[in-house]
Each structure stands twice: as C-alpha cells, then as structure tokens.
Amino acid sequence: MSEPEPAVLAQEPTASASRRSFSILVTVVCSIIVAIYVGLPLGPLLRDSSPLAQLDRPEDSLERLVTRELDLREAMRHGLAWEWRLYRILTGTADPVREAETWYEELADAIDSDSAALHRAILLAESGDPDRVEEAIAPWKERGESAQRMASWVSAAYLGAPPEPEAGRALIAELRDQLGPDWFSDTLVGRIAARIGDARARSQAESAMVARGRVLHLRLRLLMALVTVLLAAGALALTRMLARPSPVRVAAAPLPPDWSTADGYALFVRGLGAPQAIILVVFFLLRRLSP
C-alpha cells in the first residue's frame, strides 16, 4: 500500500506584500522645489522695495494691467446689469481708478517717465482730485515741448475753463496723433469732447473703450463658463461618490486610494515639484537668452 503524497500547499502572494517605497532623496528635492515656487511670489512682499521694481518692464506691465481692467469695467457697465453687479461683488468694492493711481505713484518713485506721469495725472483727475492734478502738471509747463503739450491736454480735459471748440478739436487731433488707442487716450478725448460739446468725438471715444472691453468680457465669460462646468462636474462626482454604498474603484484600485500620509505627501510634491522644476529651468534659460 503506497503512502499518500504530501499535500503541496499553494504559495499564494499575501495581500500585505511590501510595496515599493518612494525615494526620500527625490521627495526632499521636490519639497525644496515646491517651497521655492511657493515662496517666489512672496519675495517682493518681504522687502521694502515696490513690487513694480522687480519687473523687467514695469511701465508696460502696469499700463497693460490698468487699461485692460478699466476697459473691461467700461464694457461691463454697458452690459447686463446683473452681470455688472456680480462682477463688482467678486472683485471687491475698491475703486479701480484710485488703486491704479496708487500703483502709478509707486511707479513714479521707481522710474522717470513722461507717459507714466501723464497716466498718473489722468487717474488723479478721474479720482476727483483737481488740486493734486494742478500740482502734478505744474512742473511740466517749465519743461520741454512734449511735457508742455501733455499739460495742455490735461488742462483742457479737467482744469479751468473749457477750451474753444476749434482749439479743443485741434487738441483732440493732436492727442490722437501722439498717443496710441487705449483707455488713457480715449478718456482724455472723451473729457475734452464733453467740455467743448463735441458729442461725436465723445461717442467715438466711449465706443472704442467699450469695443476693447467687450473682447476681454467675452474671454471672461468663457473662463467663467469653464469654471462653472468644472465645479458642476466635481459636485456631481462627489455626490455620486457619497451616494453609492460600495466603494468606487478604477480597475483594481480603490478611490480614494489607501495611501499612507507619507506616500500621499511624496506623490503630492512630485506632482507639483517636477513640472515646476521644468518651468523654472525653462524660465531661467529664456531670461539668459533674451536680449
């Protein structure tokens, strides 16, 4: 009688098999990159210098920011009332003209520019501060022809008695010839036209601001629509996840994943740090290669 063969026990992999751990060195490097990336915007705030001084072209950057913001607000004022009210709630109650004037005052301390001085004078006048406008343009009258011309524009638009209609139209033509089309030049033209009673020139200036603002308004609407769709999709996914009794899985992986705190942190800093490292390197190389 043969002896029974010993049973062969199947060697099944245990569920608690050790997983491959993340490299501590890579985690530390990615953490440093994330800290640098997060700290970069805070750097100018920790110093006494103006943030504008940290820009390569502060005047161009500030002009682009201010003109687009004010053109957008002009377009929204002529649009739907509820949309304008919602925009004001979301952006705060601060007067953007006064904010822009403060920024231009900081810019004047950082650089010496006739166009920046003109923009600041216009913002002062639009803020309802004629005394400071007089003070700002007084030195211009003793300087060269360009500064005297700017002083005549500001005076015709805001100060003293309005110019004669012919003189006002000549100033508008001169202004259009010397300045590019933006919020500052259109505001000057509109103010001069209003003072001399030229409804056509005033309407053209206002229409130009609204037309530029509507382009930005359309972009804002598209952005808000995208944000709304993403929020709705996220809310729907969260609702379905909470409503389902069984855990959500993608293939064999559960959602949310059963990571430890260390694994979650390692994945987080890798996901944020690696792309930012590439961006920082590219940004550094572009700055070195740019003229």
Q: Does residue 170 lie in a domain region? A: yes
pLDDT at 78: 86
Token pair recorded at residue 259: 């990571």
Q: Does residue 290 lie in a domain region? A: no
Q: Does residue 88 lie in a domain region? A: yes
Token pair recorded at residue 115: 């166009």
Number of structural domains the chain divides into: 1
3-state secondary structure (DSSP) of residue 122: helix
Does residue 12 surpass a pLDDT of 50? no
pLDDT per residue as tens digits for the range 140-149? 878 888 888 9
Q: Does residue 89 lie in a domain region? A: yes
State percent of the chain over pLDDT 90: 32
Q: Does residue 281 lie in a domain region? A: no
3-state secondary structure (DSSP) of residue 163: coil
pLDDT at 196: 93
pTM: predicted TM-score of the whole model, two decimal places: 0.69
pLDDT at 169: 93
pLDDT per residue as tens digits for the range 173-203? 999 998 888 999 999 999 999 999 999 999 9
With CA atoms as reference, report the closest residue to 153 among 129, 117, 104: 117
Q: Does residue 67 lie in a domain region? A: yes
Q: What is the rounded CA–CA span in Å between residue 45 and residue 246?
A: 49
| pLDDT-derived band at 8, boundaries 50, 70, 90 | very low
Q: Does residue 118 lie in a domain region? A: yes
Q: What is the rounded CA–CA span in Å between residue 135 and residue 162?
A: 19
Strand partners, 255: 248
Does residue 37 surpass a pLDDT of 80? no
Q: Are 122 and 187 in contact (CB under 8 A)?
A: yes
Q: Are 209 and 69 in contact (CB under 8 A)?
A: no
Q: What is the rounded CA–CA span in Å between residue 193 and residue 173?
A: 11
| Least confident range of 38-52, 103-117, 254-268 | 38-52
Q: Does residue 46 lie in a domain region? A: no
Domain that holds residue 156: 56-239
pLDDT per residue as tens digits for the range 42-65? 665 566 556 666 667 888 888 999
How many of the other CB atoms lie within 10 Å of CB of 59? 17
Q: Which residues contact 132 (CB under 8 A, 6 or more apart)?
A: 124
pLDDT per residue as tens digits for the range 216-237? 999 999 999 999 999 999 999 8
